[in-house]
Structure formats: structure tokens, C-alpha cells
Chains A and B, each alone.
Chain A
Amino acid sequence: MSGEVIRQLQHGSQHSFFMKQALLMGEKALATGETPVGCILVYNNTVVGYGMNDTNRSMNGTRHAEFIAIEEMLQNYPRSALRKTDLYVTVEPCVMCASALRQYQIQTVYYGCGNDRFGGTGSILSLHSDSSIDPPYPVHGGLFHKEAIMLLRRFYIQENEKAPKPRPKKHRELKTNFDNSHSPILYVK
């Protein structure tokens, strides 16, 4: 996506407002020891679902922010409403979520930073546009990508006490520089 489009989206008060809401959900995830990915669902200019990663608390590796938000939305809206719903998520949806969003026929996806490890909407696979039994959806990345990357960096310098074999990360430092990449995986190993 061109820098001009990102500037427009970021300064367009609506996109900016919604992505900031998603970032707040990411902050909330970080505060509770979850991988800091946050998202919101917007239907008719209204936030109808909030999600943050919930894999550690639930001990279920599939409980990503997108699923949590969709679950909340479906308590009040029929599934068909997702066809007119936009997703704002701090990190590019993973392969699992990218496929789920297509099955749910999401209208549009806006994300912050890319995801080199699992990204399903352009980084590893392009599940939003590959041939499938469901219609494709448009994706726009790069909104507040620095903020999204910093959230992840702040998380990854911590140790994962929940892993069977936690890796010591004493020597990691929080990096604050950015090259032109939209990718979050820039932390010091």
C-alpha cells in the first residue's frame, strides 16, 4: 500500500479512531500477559465486537483476537451482518484467521503491521484473494504499524513462563528503531 493511502487512512478520522480502538485492545492483551494483538469489528460505523488474543488464559492456541470479536458480535447480530462488517486488527491476520474471515465473508480488513511468521493475507499466504469457495475480501495494511510493532516488541522481550521450556531472554533489549519494513519481527534474539 502506498504511503499516500496510509496517510489518508491514518488521518481520516474514522479509520484512525477505529485502529486506535484495536490498539487499545492490544494494550489490554499485553497487560494480561497475552500476545498483544487486538481487534475490533465495525458494522454501520459502530463497534460491534472487541477482541484480544486469549490463548494463554484459555490454554487454547486457536483463541485469537478475531475469533473473540466475532463471537461477541454474533451474540447480537446475525451471521449475515459480517458481510457488511470491517475488521481493524493491529497485526495482519494469521493463516487461520485469514481463512476464518473469508468463511465469515468479512467486508474489508485493515491491519497495522505484517506478520512474517503466520500472515495469511499477503505475508505467507494470500488467503484473502486465492481461489476458494467464498468470495475474496480486500485488505489494507500499514495503519499505525509502528504502534503495532512496538506492542509486539514489548511483549517478545518478556519470557514465556507458560511454555514447557521457557527460553531465557535476559539479554534482549527493546528496540525502538524502524526501517521501512512493516514487519514486527525485528526484536533482538
Chain B
Amino acid sequence: MDAEELLRGITPLAGDVTAIRTVQETRPLEEFADAYVAEVNVKSASKVIKALDSSFPRDPSQPMNHLRRFAKHNQVPEHLRPALLRDGSSPSQTIFVLISPPLPDTETLQKVLAPFVPENAVSEEGAVPLHPVRIPLQPPMTTVQADTWSKSMWPVVFNPAAPRAMVAPPPHVLSRARELIQPNAGRYLALAQQMAEVAEQSGLGRGVGAVVVDPDLEAEIEIDETDEAGNIRWADAVVAVAGDGRYSRREVGMDDPPQPGTGPNPNIQTYDADREGGPELHALMRVVELISSKRRQDGPVSATGRPCLNYLETYFMAQSDVPVSESHDSSPVPEKYQKTTETAAHAIHKESETEDVPASRIRPRSQGGYLCTDLDVYLTHEPCICCCMGLLLSRFRAVIFPRGGRMVSGGLASEPVVQPVPVETEIEAEAEAETETEGEAAADSAEDKKKGAEPAKSREYYGLHWRKELNWRALGFEFVEERPVAVRAEEGVAFHA
């Protein structure tokens, strides 16, 4: 089949792009630690802070800005009142200061505080009283949490903009990316599904596909609405596609690597690790290698020894075969990496306008192309853990996959899908499951209805796209199909996508 014919026949999937929450959001860490409270003269408050800050260094990796440093008498949480509000202390005279971790030794602390403590608060032995309290180490995620902690632990401040950087992508970055991804996601995912079909039918892989898009190129495309039938300009932003190729390796004893056959490989019916070929032959890893080969300006040295496995991959690779014009571009570094006012998008537009030599969709290294920086990858399935880290190491900007393509072995989802609880009763649903021909699907939906969630098979939820521990992060999106998917991948053969 001709690639352009295939592109013309693509019907976009209908659905909504939704951000995958991070594990920091779905499983917020709640850590608590010991701290001290001391009563000081209200007039010395600023001196107390100076004295504390100059005597005891703070740990910059553990900001405590969410904790109020002082509590007035009426702000003291209920459970601390018997200990703190002693007879003879007056709201107009004293205030309570918090000493948060890292905690100094009590003797030094008492010495530092002594000048500011009201005389009648000092114990008979002359010691400054330090009251132990528990405090939350992380800032509150919601106002409700802030209120709860303020009442049960110590007054905290809720700042919606504050230190969420580690927890989740900044909301404006995420929503802007989502807006840009939404209009064409259905098309790219439909193309990925076509790629998957080609890969499966070749017998060289499972039905998994990957499509890589350059958002800068996407921004440049002006689709002519009048030319609906033949318009495939949307595909101009696609820099590479790849299908799964796990059965394409030349095994020991074979003279030649396996050749495309006429139908699916029988191994797709089950999962046998010895027949799985390895993650470097998964769609994500293969598309990364195809892009790298263009950056290097040589042929891919893939595990199969073959760059492209089918006509669709070859078609898109050929779009970047053109030699890049040197004449228009005096600098070898693309504008994107230059500190100039010109944008990369503008430069691309300029080149296509001149129509001298078309620009390569994948910039070689000599033109500043670097790994998969600033590219988005659309996948038919939730990638395996290995491929998730591979996409982070490749520095993709974003990853998008359809919810129906969730895998028990996947590394992106951060929580089970919560589905609406239907009005039908359990008994009806179960009866339906027994009588219907599509027994399995119905049984599953009955299962869902019972629990209101999707825990069909147990799995881990890694949310690898944005983990605070890792020093590369990507935006992660799920494409929620408008119509329910007939067979969810999670219900099929468990394998690594």
C-alpha cells in the first residue's frame, strides 16, 4: 500500500486529551517531624527570628515556608492549648515561635531564646520551656489539608502556586501543551494505530505503533479546509513513525533476519519472554533510533541491522532525506538554541517559502538537533517501564497514549481509572454477562460496575513521566476515547509495549 493513500484514509480518533496525574499528586507524601514551640515576648518577634536564623542554618532542600513561624494565642491548635496557654500569659504580651527541623540541641537553643522569653515563663531551674510539637514537612496540597493541619498540628499556609514544581508540571505549562496537543492528537493516534496494524501484519512485531511529532512544525501548518479529501498536510509535522519489531532480530543460526510475512506472528497470542526480542525493538525505542540516525546523518545501526521495517517507516524517513540548505542559514545551530529574537518556527517557515531546498524534518546534529528534545511521541499503548525511561532519557517534551491502550506492564499511569457507577443493578449486569455473546467484555464491565474502578489485573502505577526523584521529566497525557473501546489492551495478553 502507498503511504500517502494510507494517510488520506485516516479517520481521527474522537476523544479528549487529559493530563496523567503525577504519583506525587495521586499518592501525596505525608511526612511529619518533631519541632519545638517556645513562648516569647511579642515585641521581640523580629529579633527572635534574626537570632534563630543566624544561629541555626536552615536546610535549603527542606523548605519550611508553609509553616507559620509564629502563632498568636488564638491560633494555637486546640490540643496544644493546655500546655502552652499557662496562667499569667497574655495575648498582648507573648506569642509562640516555632523551631522547625533541622533541630538544634536544646541547650544551645534555650540560650539563644533566653533574652526574649518572658520572665514568668522561665522554669524554676531557669530553663526556657520548649514544647514538643509535630509538623508536616511538605506544604499542604489543598486548603482543606491546610485547615486540618492548622487545627491538628501547627498553623500552616496554603499557597497554590508554591512549591509544586517537584510535585507536578506548572499548571500553565500543562494546560498550554494540552490545548496545542488536543486538536491533532486523534489524527496522530490514528496514524499510530495504522502503524501498529502494519507492524502486526508484517509478522515482525506486535501491534504497537509510535508517531513522533515536532510541535514547531505543527504550528507552521496551515490546513486548507476546502481540500478535505486529499489534504494530508497535517502529517507534515510527523518526523518519524515506527512499529514494534520484536520478532525481526536475526536469531543465532539464521542466515538472514526474518522477512515480512503475510500475517501476524503466532507468538503474539501468548507471552514467552524468550520470544519477545527485547525492549530495543519496541516501537518507542525504534522510533528513537530512527531519529538518532538522522541526527548522526548515517544509517541506523539497529539491533536488526535494518533501519526501516516497512513502507510507512521508510516513507517518513525519506521526508528527512533531503540535504539541508546551507545557504540560507549562516549558523549551524538552529535558532531554537540561539539566543536571538528569531524563533525556530520562523526559520522553518522562511525556508519553505523560498522553496529552494526543503528543510529536513529532523535536524542533523550539525544543525543543532539534539536527542528528541522538544518532540512529542504518540503511542498506541502505554509504554513499558524500560521505554518510559527511554523516552525521558531521549528528552521528549510530551507522551500521549489512548486510555484503551493501558497495559498491566505499563509505566505511565499513576492511578486506576475511576469509572462512573452505573444505574444498573449488579444482578442485571451479571445476567447480561452470562447471556451476551461478547461475554468477556460484558463481564469486565460488570466487574467495573461492582467496584466503580478498573482493577481487573493488579499492576503497579509508576507515573514515570514526572517523578520528582528523576532529573528528566516529560508531560504525560492520556487520550480518553469518546466511545468505549471494544477490547482494552489491559485485558489482553500481558506483554511489554
Contact = CB atoms under 8 A, between A and B. Distances in A.
A71 B280 CA distance: 9
Contacts of B371: 59-61
A92 B300 CA distance: 28
B337 A165 contact: yes
Contacts of A5: none
Decide if the interface of chain B is mainly helix, strand, loop or mixed: loop
A44 to B, nearest CB: 15
A99 B389 contact: yes
B469 A58 contact: no
Contacts of A95: 385, 388-389, 464, 470
A96 B470 CA distance: 12
Contact of A103 (B276, B289, B365): B276
Nearest to A60: B292
B496 A103 contact: yes
B471 interface: yes
A70 B303 CA distance: 10
Interface in A95-149: 95-97, 99-100, 103-105, 117-118, 120, 124-125, 127, 130-134
Contacts of B1: none
Interface in B182-238: none
Contacts of B409: 132-133
B34 interface: no
A185 to B, nearest CB: 10
B307 interface: no
A127 B386 CA distance: 10
A125 to B, nearest CB: 7
Interface residues of B, number: 53
Decide if the interface of chain A is mainly helix, strand, loop or mixed: loop
A62 interface: yes
B390 A62 contact: yes
B403 interface: no
B395 A133 contact: no
Band of interface residues on A: 35 or more
B273 A164 contact: no
Interface stretch (A6-14, A16-24, A73-81, A173-181): A73-81
B337 A164 contact: yes
Given A62-B280, A62-B285, A77 B386 contact: no
A91 interface: no
B249 A74 contact: yes
A140 to B, nearest CB: 22
Contacts of A103: 273, 276, 278-279, 384, 386, 496
A94 B470 CA distance: 10
Given A96-B386, A100-B278, A164-B337, 8 more contacts: A58-B296, A61-B288, A61-B395, A78-B252, A94-B389, A103-B278, A118-B389, A125-B462
14 contacts: A60-B288, A60-B292, A75-B252, A79-B274, A79-B278, A94-B393, A95-B388, A95-B470, A96-B385, A104-B278, A118-B389, A125-B462, A162-B370, A163-B370
Interface of A: 55, 58-62, 67, 70-71, 74-80, 94-97, 99-100, 103-105, 117-118, 120, 124-125, 127, 130-134, 162-165
